[in-house]
Structure 1
Amino acid sequence: GYSHAPDALSYGVDMKHIRWCGILQRIALVYVVVALIETLTTKRRPNVLEPRHLSIFTAYQWQWIGGFIAFVIYIITTYSLYVPNWSFSEHSDHGVKKYIVKCGMRGHLGPACNAVGYVDRELWGINHLYSDPVWSRLEACTLSSPNSGPLREDAPSWCRAPFEPEGLLSTISAILSGTIGIHYGHVLIHFKGHSARLKHWVSMGFGLLIIAIILHFTNAIPINKQLYSFSYVCFTAGAAGIVFSALYVLVLLLINPTN
């Protein structure tokens, strides 16, 4: 079904509307970047940590530099990239209807004019984005909110537009999540005592959660999964550290206390 002419589609995949991005592609890209940094810097880090509080971070400084670069790229692009007006077409049995979304702004984090969506529209093309985004469940779009349902008659045009939640810019932000995740693994390798490991994981987990909550409730950087915001990275990474600690206690200390 992949070799037939795109204008004579009767089965298989429509290459004119195939979705290029997805959760598996995001995971793959994040793993590739984190794994490459880990592999290429093997000879540049010590095998034994120095007896200092931050030695676990300095020993893997290249990993954190990579995560910081991803963070800087995401923040600068999200808040400084100019998003112009854009349009899309909706096909139905009654024909084709064109919609225009008015933007002309920078740093907007809403559904219509965020830089995350703009980058994907320019890079992949609007026909290759996810056609049923979660935005359409907002109260501004449907009376069935927070569930999906028919669009309101006065729904904004962006309610009908495609949006890619697993796009390029949000995937770059996810690299920082991968950096924090592999850091939890580094702690497991270098810290030999159960209490030392748990102390580090729990303290870092709660620290990240506090940062996320402050950023969200001060409205500085709201938690937004669709945009994979920095506060969302902190919240999920912090929660992961705490949950991982709980599972560690359950498996290694309660079920098998001799290890």
Structure 2
Amino acid sequence: MDEAKRMEEGINLALDDNAKDDLLKKQERTNTNVDSNIKQQISEEDDQQLTLVKQKSKRVATLDAFRGLTIVLMILVDDAGGVYPRIDHSPWNGCTLADFVMPFFLFIVGVAIALALKRIPKIKYAVRKIILRTLKLLFWGIILQGGYSHAPDELVYGVDMKIIRWCGILQRIALVYCVVALIETFTTKLRPTTLSPGRISIFTAYKWQWFGGFVAFLIYMITTFSLYVPDWSFVVNGDEPKRYTVLCGMRGHLGPACNAVGYVDRQVWGVNHLYSQPVWRRLKACTFSSPGE
């Protein structure tokens, strides 16, 4: 009997040891599974962060290259235009290489707007960003092209508010960017994600963009050919300031002296706040020795 009890106790102890070993193995397996799951989650989060970083830093190389070539072209025509008249701005009629610089910049801005505003999570955030960027462009336009004196050989620094240029090239690009970007922001959710088959699908999908462009074109044409342009005068400063009078009194004139666009600029900004060295002054009809003085 004693031997049987001892054998039974030994068997029970062996079974207990085996059960303990099984439990330990199960715990080790669960721990390894938990560790592997945690590592997998961490690696997935790292991959997601990497993909997010890649998406944020992704740029269109062709657009950047075209922007760089446009800047090179701008420097070329600005510095060498006086030596080679064929690449300088056309005085009025015609088109030269220099006349493509600003349209190229506007094209770049339009493509960048379409790429940047594909997905808009919050309209308020997008509008705030557009307005802030517009204000930055206006500020730098006034600093760079508003008449700020920073030459080392001059004694005066700052801007003469009597002749400051309010609407230069950067300012015009800023205003165009603001209008187009706002139209794109408020109409993105109204536009289908994919174009439907058909020849006019590009017009129906982007109807508000086409409508905005048509309204701008209509305002320009009505202003150009229906606005009456009266006579106007300007003063040439010097030792003896002299006032010159330009005889207009007409509508629909497309020359530099009596066109409606110039009249609107003079009324809105003032003749002293316009560009002081326009290219049309090289025309014979716009010189002081012209018979129509």
TM-score of the aligned structures, taking structure 1 as reference length: 0.51
2:289 maps to 1:153:
yes
- CA-to-partner distance for each residue in 1:182-212, whole Å, 9 max, x for gaps? xxxxxxxxxxxxxxxxxxxxxxxxxxxxxxx
Change (3 A) 1:47 1:70: same
- CA-to-partner distance for each residue in 1:143-192, whole Å, 9 max, x for gaps? xxxxxxxx5634644xxxxxxxxxxxxxxxxxxxxxxxxxxxxxxxxxxx
Match of 1:138 in 2: 283
| Aligned with residue 91 of structure 1, among 237, 242, 250 | 237
- CA-to-partner distance for each residue in 1:215-251, whole Å, 9 max, x for gaps? xxxxxxxxxxxxxxxxxxxxxxxxxxxxxxxxxxxxx
1:132 deviation in Å?
1.0
Change (3 A) 1:115 1:152: closer
- CA-to-partner distance for each residue in 1:108-145, whole Å, 9 max, x for gaps? 0011110010000000011000111111111334xxxx
Counterparts of residues 159-178 of structure 1 (less than 5 Å)? none
Aligned amino acid, residue 28 of structure 1: A
Counterparts of residues 109-258 of structure 1 (less than 5 Å)? 109-141=254-286, 151=287, 153-154=289-290, 156-157=292-293
Tell me which structure has the larger Cα radius of gyration.
Answer: 2
Match of 1:14 in 2: 160
Match of 2:228 in 1: 82
Aligned amino acid, residue 230 of structure 2: P
Aligned amino acid, residue 25 of structure 1: Q
SS at match of 1:50: coil
Aligned amino acid, residue 58 of structure 1: T
- Please identify runs of 4+ aligned residues in structure 1 that moved more than 6 A: none
SS at match of 1:43: coil
SS at match of 1:62: helix
Q: Partners of 1:98 and 1:10 in 2: how far apart?
A: 27
Match of 2:178 in 1: 32
SS at match of 1:110: coil
Unaligned 5+ runs, structure 1: 3-8, 142-150, 158-259
Change (3 A) 1:42 1:61: same
Q: Partners of 2:192 and 2:220 in 1: how far apart?
A: 30
1:69 deviation in Å?
0.4
Is the CA contact (8 Å cut-off) linking 2:252 and 2:260 kept in structure 1? yes
Match of 1:253 in 2: none
2:63 maps to 1:63:
no
Match of 1:53 in 2: 199
Is the CA contact (8 Å cut-off) linking 2:233 and 2:243 kept in structure 1? yes
Match of 1:194 in 2: none
Match of 1:73 in 2: 219
Q: Partners of 2:235 and 2:275 in 1: how far apart?
A: 14
1:44 deviation in Å?
0.9
**Higher RCO (CA < 8 A, seq sep 6+):** 1
SS at match of 1:44: coil
Aligned amino acid, residue 224 of structure 2: T
SS at match of 1:89: strand
Unaligned 5+ runs, structure 2: 1-142, 144-154
- CA-to-partner distance for each residue in 1:36-80, whole Å, 9 max, x for gaps? 111100111111111111101210100000000000000000100
Alignment RMSD (CA, Å)? 1.9
